[in-house]
Each structure stands twice: as C-alpha cells, then as structure tokens.
Structure 1
Amino acid sequence: MLTQLSIKNYAIIDDLNVSFKDGFTVITGETGAGKSILLEGLSMVLGKRADLNSLRDKTSKCIIEAQFSLGGYELQSFFESNDLDYDVQTIVRREILPSGKSRAFINDTPVTLEVLTGLGGRLIDVHSQHQTLLLAEHDFQLKIIDAIAGNSKLLKTYRSSLAAYKNTATELDALLQQQQNAIKDQDYNSFLLNELESTPLKEGMQEELENQYEQLNNVETILSQMSAGHQLLQNENSGILALLYELKLAIGKLTSFGSAYSDLNERIQSLHIEADDIASEMQSLEESVETDPNRLEEVNGLLQSLFDLKKKHGATTVTELLEIRDDLREKVDRTEHLDEDIEVQKSLLAKQEAELLKLAEELNLKRQAAIPELSRQLEEDLAALGMPHATFKITLEAASDYGTTGRDRILFLLSSNKGTDYGPLKKVASGGELSRIMLVIKAVLSQHEKLPTLMFDEIDTGVSGEISNRMADIMRKMSQHMQVFAITHLPQVASKGDHHYKVYKEDSEQMTRTEMKRLSTDERIVELAEMLGGKELSDSALAHARQLLN
C-alpha cells in the first residue's frame, strides 16, 4: 500500500509531503485546488512520461517520491528478474531535470521507464472513466471469471504447460527446417567427408611426409656423403678415431703430473667416446638408407593429396583439415539421426498437447460453473447503483488455438433495461454505466485476489446522492481487503472514508501553491458542510454533515 508521498517543484505544488494509512481514504477540495495535479504527480512515479512544462521552477529539478509497503504483494520475483534489491518498505523516486531529462529510481537503484511502469502497475490501479475501456478486452473479462472460479493455481499450471508446449513446437519446427536444408546438402557433405577420410590425416603428418620425401628423393647424395664421413672417422692411418686414440695415449702419460693434465685427459676420452658413437650411428643410418621408388611415389602422392585438400577447404594446416572433417562428420551423423529426433519431438508434442487440452478443459468447466455466480453478484450490485434492470449474458466458446488463458473465447453481453437487446458493454452502456460496472467488477475482484492500491478518480461524477452513497459503501467494503482512495466532490462519499484529506490552494504575495492536509473530525464536519451548502455555513448544513459522519 501507499504509505507516503512527497512532491517537490511540480506544477503548483511547491513542497508537499503527506502520509497515508490503509483502509478507505477520501480526498476532497474545490475545483482547481490541485486534486488532479496530485494524481498526475503520483502517476509520474508509476511510469508516466515526464514533461518539462510540469516544473514549477524551471531552474530546479522536480522530485516525486512514493513509499510503499509491499507485504503480501509477492513482488520478490519482479525485483529479482530486474536485478533490484527487494525491501518490504520500497521507495520509488522520479526526477525531472531542468534540461528536460528524467530519471527513475527504485530503492535508489536507477531503472528504465519500462521497469518503473511494470512495478507501478502492480502497486497502484488508478480507476477513472478512461479505464472502462478495459471492460471490452477479452483477457480482462476472463480475469473476472477466473477470480470467481479460483483459477489462479490452475492458470499458473496451464501457462507453464503452454510454455513447454511452445518450446517443443519451436524445437520441432527447427528440426524440420534443418531436415529440409540437410537433405539438400547431405550428398555433398558425404562426398567431402569420404574424401577427407580417405586420406589418413593426423597431427604432424605433413612434416613427417616432407622429411620422408627429402630422404627418398636424395638417397644417392645421402649414401655418398655418409661414406665420405665414414672414411674421415675410421680411416686406419689418418681417421679421426685413430688420431684421437693416439692423442689419448699421449696425454694419458701426463696425468700423474697434476690435475690439469687429468682433466684434459678426461675431455679427450669423452671426445673419443662421442666420435666412436657418431661412427656407429652413421653406419647404422647408412645401412638403413635404401632406394625405394614405390615409397617415394606413395609419399609424393600423399603430399599432393594433402595440398589439394588444404586448397579445396581453404585450410592452412592439417589441424584445420581435421576440424573440418569432424564438423562434416557431425553434420552427416546429425542428418542421419534427424528422422529419429523428429519422431521423438512429435511424440513429446502430442503428449504435451494432450495435457494442455486437459488443463484448458478444466479451466472451461470451472469458468462455466462460475458464470452464474458472477452474473448474480454484478446484477445485484448494479441494482443498488441505480441499474435495477441490468442483466448479463456471459458465454464461453472454444477457440482453435491455445492462448495464455486457455482455449476459451468469452462473450460478455449486457442488457441495461427491460426489453432491450443484449450487446457488447461498450456499445449498450453509457459512460456513467460503464463506470459503475467497472466499480462492481473491481469490488468482486477484491474479494478473490490481492489487488494493488485502488484509486478512484471522481467516478461518482454525475450520479445522484443516493447512488453515490451506495458507491461509497462498495468502496468502503473493498477497503477491508485493500487500500482504497477516492477523489470526490460528493459529501456522501467523503463521509464514508476512514481518513479524509483536503487539497487546497494557499496564496502568498509571490505565488500560489497547492497544499494537502489530513482533517480532524471537526474539520471534516466543516468540509462536508461546505460541500453540502457552500462557504456560508448554516446550522442545517453542519447538522447534516454530522449526521453523514455518524
């Protein structure tokens, strides 16, 4: 509920700060005192677009702040989904800067106008003549019946089932589209895959093949150079090994003359061992080298295939070719299993549709059962509001598709007077009648679901004193379940409030500003008397005012 409202520098409001309580609150004031400005200011924190012309002082910013108590509103999920800190005592603030820009905050966190509007619609419902347009909307009409039928949990289950059904249908459509595209590409992808798989691709194969090719293509040079090297190492008289051996013997005789000669001898020993090992390896390599024209041709063919594949697929490395091969293999495998996947999705979709149909039929049955009770309540309340012959004809028809509220199409018809035909509400009811119909509908809804703070903006305009008295009774009854405000010109309505606020203008030499205060019992008597008989207070007007309050 709304617990506090602060408005600074807005229209003719300079600095207004007022607190509110639960129950039924009435707001009165002379025409032009600023009641509509107060409501416009409040609408700013509910998401209405800002207007620079609204600034009282064009050099200062306008600040409008409202505090709400959110206990029982179940808004935690809204705060979580919008990354906001949840607090039972939530503050919503709107600022209009002199530059024309506006900013919005929820608990001091900046938010977009869309988020602000989303929260505002859950906090305050402003009921005016314009809101009667909702009466013609299909979803709103179903909402009324669902409230009577107690369909809240069932609708939640249905919508969850509908979301799963739509998700499966979307996945099935994607699979079918994928199948159509895959059929066109399947042969070509299979050809490319076979071509890649026919070449034994592996990491490092190009370097390995190139090394083999160089060796096989230069066998004679390798053998010739290896033979020359062998001679240099192992020649009996002048080979490196023979010379190192003689060097080793010569220096070996000096080891007893000091560590320096011992160290030198060890180094020569190492050289001899290393040279001997090189000689053995060269001999082994020389023996392994042989002319193999067939293998040379095979290696050359593999290298050519590799180069062709890289050019064809725009690859620069064997690694990229392996990735392309794996991707093609996945596409081919996926296409081959698409039929199976499609059948699985079709089976799941049929199962979900059966469950959805069952829930939709259950909603329909509960709605059908609730229609007589809804018609009775509406007709009974409207009779008390000066529409004694108003009757409703509410029917449900099956739709071909699944909507967010089920498969029902509602026909909500009204006959306002005896002998008149039934017709859509907006065609057969006047503006005043529509306003009364909306009032009784909200009264019905308030008994069955948690509604936000409800603000009635002069909906009693143009009705008689007796009917306005009954309208006030309905609003007061609603306030047992929720916080209700009524902006009114009628003393019959104003007298029924638990709390009474007056909006008035205060003039000074420099400016005129709007103020608002909560009236005491004595002040209420004076205010009601003025509403009854004007500024010239008479004893009869005061007595009548006391009688209304009692």
Structure 2
Amino acid sequence: MLLGLRVKNFALIREASLSFEEGFTVLSGETGAGKSILIDSISALLGAKTGRDMIRSGEEAAYLELVFSVERQELREKLAALSVFPEEDGTVIVSRKIQKNRSLSRINGEAATARQLRELAALLIDIHGQHEVQTLFSTEMHGELLDESLSPEGLAAKEAYAVAYRNYRALKKREREGSDRAALLREADLLSFELRELSESGIRPGEEAELAAAYTRAKNAARLEEALGIAEEALRTDAVSEALRAVRSVLRYSDALGALEGQLTELDALLQDAEEAVRTERNQIESDEEGLNRLGERLDLIRHLEAKYDCDEAGLLSLLAEKEARAAEIESLIKDAARLKQQSEDAMAALGTAAETLRRFRHTAAAALSERVERELAALNFKDARFEIRFEEQPEYTEQGGESAEFYIRTNPGEAVKPLRQIASGGELSRVMLALRAVLAANDRVETLIFDEIDAGISGRTAQLVSEKLMEISRSRQVLCITHLPQLAAMADHHYLIEKATDGSRTETEIREITGEALYRELGRLIGGAEITDGVLKTAEEMKQLAEKRKEGMR
C-alpha cells in the first residue's frame, strides 16, 4: 500500500508531503493547478524518463520520494527476486534526485536502475490515465488485458509457449544458416584465408611496442654510436684518480681530508661504472641495414593487419579466437544440416502443441472475462451492453501465440457488435477501461490503483455509477483518483485539494487535505463553478451526506 509521497522543487511544486491511507482518495483542483504534476512525479519515481526541465525554476535539483508498506509474504518474495528487501516494518522507500546533469534513483537507500524501478512498480502500483484509455484502440493491448485474466495454469501455459517459441526461433535461425550451403562455403573460404593470415603472422602480445622501440634504435644506430663514443671519451680521464691519489698522500696530516677522500673515492667509482655502462651500450649497437629492414617489414605487417581489420594489436589476437570459433560453427552447421532440420521440425511441432494449449486457456478466459465485463458495463449505465472477445488466426506463430485477440462491443440495444476501436466516445472508452479494471482487480495483486481522470466525458447518473464502482474497488485495493466530477469527490474517504498560488513573481502548486467546510466549498466549485452560493454549498453538503449513506449501504 502507498503510505506517502514527497515532492520537492519539481515543476511548480516547491515542497509537498502527502500521506495516504486505505480506501478511496480523491485529488481535485482547477485546470492547470498541477494535478498532472503529481502523476508525473510518481511516474518519474517509478522509472519514467524525466528531463531536467522538470526542476523548479531557480533550483539546482528536484527530489521525489514514495513510501510503500509491504505486508504480504507473497509480495515480499517477489520483491526479493528483484533484490529489494523491505525494512523490518515492511517499509519500501523509493527516491529520486534529479539534477541538471544527472539523475540518481534509490530503493531503500541502494542505487537502482530504471529497469529495477519499472519492475518494482509493476508489483506495487498501477496507474491508469487517459493514455491507457487510448491504448484500447490497439488490438495488441486487448491481448495483454486478456492475458491478465488467465488462470495460474493459463499463465504457466503462456510461459511454456514463450519458451517453445524462443527455442523454435533459435533452431530455425541455425537451420537457415546451415541450409545455405553455398553461402557457408564462401564464408568458410574467406575465414580460412583470414585465419591463415592472422595465425601465420604469429603476433605476440606487446610485440608491436617492442618492434617500434627496436626499429627506432636500429634506425638511429649511427647517431647513437657517435653520441656514446663522445660520452665514453669524455668519461675516460685520470683526473679524479690523480686527485684521489694526491689527497691520500697527505691524508695523515689533516683529519679534515677524510671526508674529501670519501667523496673522491665515490666519484672515481661512479665514473668508472658510467664509462663501463657507456662502453657496453656502445658495443651492443649494430648498424645492420638488413636487420633494420626486417624490423620495418615486421612492423609494417602488424600495422597493415590492424588497418585491414580495424583494430589494435589486442583486437587482432581476440579476432583470431572469434574467427576460429565461427569457423568451427560453420563446419558444424554444414555437417549437421540434416540434424538441425529435424530439430527445427520437432521444435515446430512442440510450438504448435504449446500454442494450442495456450489457445484453449485464452478462449476459456475470454468467455469468462466477456461475461464479467458485461455485468460491470451494465452497472456503469450501459443498458443491454454486449462485450465479446474475438480471435483471428495468424499466418504464422508470433511471440504472443498463434492468434490475435480483439475486443468487440455493443453499447446500445439494436446496434451491431463492432470492434472497440471504432468507438469514438471518450466517455464510453473510459467506462470500458474501468469495467475491465474492475474485473481484473480480482486477478491483479497490485494493492494501489491510481486513476487519472478516467471519468473524462461522463456526467450525471453515469458519473454516480462510476463513483460507486471506484468505491467498490477501493474495498479490496487502495484507490487514488484525480477527478473533476463532484459525484466522485463526494464518495471519497479522503480528499486532497490542489491549488496554484502566486505572490506576483513566483507561482507554485500547493496540496492539502480538506474536510468539513473546505470540502463542501470544493464540492461546490465542482458543482457550480467559480461562483459558490449558499445554495450551491447546501447542495454540496447534501451530496456528501448522501454519498456517506450510499457508502454505508455498500459496506
């Protein structure tokens, strides 16, 4: 269950903290007051993309936080599979800090990826807005909604089909590769040439750097020999030795000469070592034109291969291993073409069996879902509504199965049943989505549902029925609803008012829970618009009292 939401410096909201409880919570306010900002903030916390333009003007960063309470062991186990572990009291805190150059999300203090947040959201909260209502025009969405109503056995059949489909696709790909023998032989010939070229080059790790250093030394042998000769001649001197002998001859006459004698001894030894090192280095220099050419040719070969295969020395070495593996794979494909064909045929048969099993579960679920949706539609003021799910066989198996599903509906007596996508009324689509959600709530274990103006396009008696349906859902789930209808607002257990305020220079959105007189005034605004008369207030109070009686009767 959602316990709280904190928003700081996000869009027009400077700072807001909301606490939520069980039951039915409504959020209302003038158009443009910032109701959609709340949905945006929750979506951002749960992995949706959010740009730095959502940071409140003049601020360096925005901060968002959601607090959930997780009590069911089943849900805790699912969270553990995502490496999310609630606190001892069951609390899960999701936070996100949005800065101008980066965004950081955390789950209970641990850094989290957008994918982790989306997977977490699928377990904890479900948001239904006008965008989702519009997705009812997509037949792909129809299949997804139908699958939400599958029994546990049906879901297992769906997973078995997915495994069979992936296996079939992988084998079919290998079979296609193996069946084009001519193409494989051409690739094998090219690989053979490239492998021979790479293997015969005999490149060693670090060889290029060694060759480059040796080539530079060999190419400059004459200059090196000349410079080292000058150095050797300069170091070949007896001056220090003579100075040392002179100091030692008078050492006994002055104790102060002991330190000087030590310095000269050390210097004499250093000069002799330096002379020997220069001589050794000079003797190792070879002015070998043929050797220089060999080094250059070897270096040119390595760099030619690097340019040809567009990689460095390390890349050439790994490329050799990759091409050896591919050559072995091609050899296996050519050799095992018949075996792969048989495996592919067996996989196709297994896929067909899995598809048929899944088809039966889906048809059974479709019949039950249609019947239950019709009952919900009747409760939402669709008189004599007819709802069907029709299937169309696909020319080939897809990731979803061998059939596609599409919703058909009749909203008025005497009309023909037509595809749902042909319904133009937003109000009708909203009620169909609500009916579906009311049915699927029994299967869905998500504890918090958010409806963002799902009441768009409806009014009067229909609005009252929608409010009662939301209240009914809230008996088993926590329901939050952003609305502009007084009928829905009156049925709420808790009501938050969203207002926009300005001091002339800055504008910000403020959110507060309202009760009593403030609640009646907001209901009055929803009923009568900007001018709230005593009569409107009295009507609002009566509406709230009637709603409370209706809720008591529903309980």
| Band the TM-score falls in, shorter-chain normalisation | 0.5 to 0.7
* TM superposition shift of 1:78: 7.9
For structure 1, which segment, 103-112 or 135-144, has the greater mean C-alpha deviation from structure 2 after superposition?
Answer: 103-112
Match of 1:12 in 2: 12
Q: Distance in 2 between matches of 1:394 and 1:504?
A: 43
User: CA 1:491–1:549 in 2, change beyond 3 Å: closer, same or farther?
Assistant: farther
Q: Distance in 2 between matches of 1:389 and 1:100?
A: 56
* TM superposition shift of 1:329: 12
User: CA 1:424–1:90 in 2, change beyond 3 Å: closer, same or farther?
Assistant: same
1:547 aligns with 2:552: no
- How many residues are aligned here? 417
User: CA 1:75–1:424 in 2, change beyond 3 Å: closer, same or farther?
Assistant: farther
- Contact residue 426 and residue 457 of structure 2 kept, 8 A: no
In the TM superposition, 1:409-424 aligns within 5 A as 409-424=404-419
2:40 counterpart SS class:
helix
1:342 aligns with 2:337: yes
Match of 2:43 in 1: 43
In the TM superposition, 1:24-423 aligns within 5 A as 24-70=24-70, 85-87=84-86, 89-97=91-99, 99=100, 101-113=102-114, 116-117=117-118, 119-120=120-121, 123-150=124-151, 151-176=154-179, 181-182=184-185, 341-423=336-418
* TM superposition shift of 1:471: 0.8
* TM superposition shift of 1:50: 3.0
User: CA 1:328–1:444 in 2, change beyond 3 Å: closer, same or farther?
Assistant: closer
1:351 counterpart SS class:
helix
1:489 counterpart SS class:
coil
* TM superposition shift of 1:380: 2.7
* Letter of the 2:353 counterpart: K
CA RMSD of aligned residues (A): 4.1
* Letter of the 1:442 counterpart: R
* Letter of the 1:96 counterpart: I
- Contact residue 527 and residue 540 of structure 2 kept, 8 A: yes
Q: Distance in 2 between matches of 1:335 and 1:11?
A: 57
For structure 1, which segment, 528-537 or 424-433, has the greater mean C-alpha deviation from structure 2 after superposition?
Answer: 528-537
User: CA 1:174–1:149 in 2, change beyond 3 Å: closer, same or farther?
Assistant: same
* TM superposition shift of 1:149: 4.2
User: CA 1:476–1:154 in 2, change beyond 3 Å: closer, same or farther?
Assistant: farther
Match of 1:475 in 2: 470
2:49 counterpart SS class:
coil
* Letter of the 1:129 counterpart: Q
User: CA 1:342–1:469 in 2, change beyond 3 Å: closer, same or farther?
Assistant: same
1:447 counterpart SS class:
coil
1:435 aligns with 2:434: no
Give 1 or 2 for the bigger CA radius of gyration.
Answer: 1
* TM superposition shift of 1:486: 0.8
1:387-420 per-residue CA deviation (whole Å, 9 max, x = no partner) reads 3243234321222322222211223223333444
* TM superposition shift of 1:114: 5.3
1:202-244 per-residue CA deviation (whole Å, 9 max, x = no partner) reads xxxxxxxxxxxxxxxxxxxxxxxxxxxxxxxxxxxxxxxxxxx
User: CA 1:24–1:50 in 2, change beyond 3 Å: closer, same or farther?
Assistant: same
* TM superposition shift of 1:438: 1.1
User: CA 1:89–1:179 in 2, change beyond 3 Å: closer, same or farther?
Assistant: farther
Match of 1:201 in 2: none
Q: Distance in 1 between matches of 2:372 and 2:324?
A: 68
Match of 1:493 in 2: 488
2:50 counterpart SS class:
coil
* TM superposition shift of 1:371: 3.1
Instruction: Give identity over the alignment, percent.
Output: 30
* Letter of the 2:448 counterpart: T
2:7 counterpart SS class:
strand
Match of 2:318 in 1: none
Structure 2: gaps (5+ residues): 197-321, 550-555
User: CA 1:124–1:328 in 2, change beyond 3 Å: closer, same or farther?
Assistant: closer
User: CA 1:331–1:106 in 2, change beyond 3 Å: closer, same or farther?
Assistant: closer
TM-score normalised by structure 1 residue count = 0.64
Structure 1: gaps (5+ residues): 194-326
Q: Distance in 1 between matches of 2:464 and 2:514?
A: 20
2:15 counterpart SS class:
strand
One of 441, 451, 455 as aligned partner of 1:460: 455
Q: Distance in 1 between matches of 2:434 and 2:492?
A: 17
* Letter of the 2:147 counterpart: D
Q: Distance in 1 between matches of 2:501 and 2:359?
A: 57
* TM superposition shift of 1:440: 0.8
- Contact residue 460 and residue 471 of structure 1 kept, 8 A: yes
Q: Distance in 2 between matches of 1:176 and 1:480?
A: 60
* TM superposition shift of 1:64: 1.3
* TM superposition shift of 1:57: 4.2
- Contact residue 447 and residue 478 of structure 1 kept, 8 A: no
User: CA 1:411–1:29 in 2, change beyond 3 Å: closer, same or farther?
Assistant: closer
* TM superposition shift of 1:16: 0.8
User: CA 1:71–1:138 in 2, change beyond 3 Å: closer, same or farther?
Assistant: farther
Q: Distance in 2 between matches of 1:48 and 1:405?
A: 25
Q: Distance in 1 between matches of 2:97 and 2:507?
A: 22
User: CA 1:178–1:504 in 2, change beyond 3 Å: closer, same or farther?
Assistant: same
Q: Distance in 2 between matches of 1:392 and 1:398?
A: 20
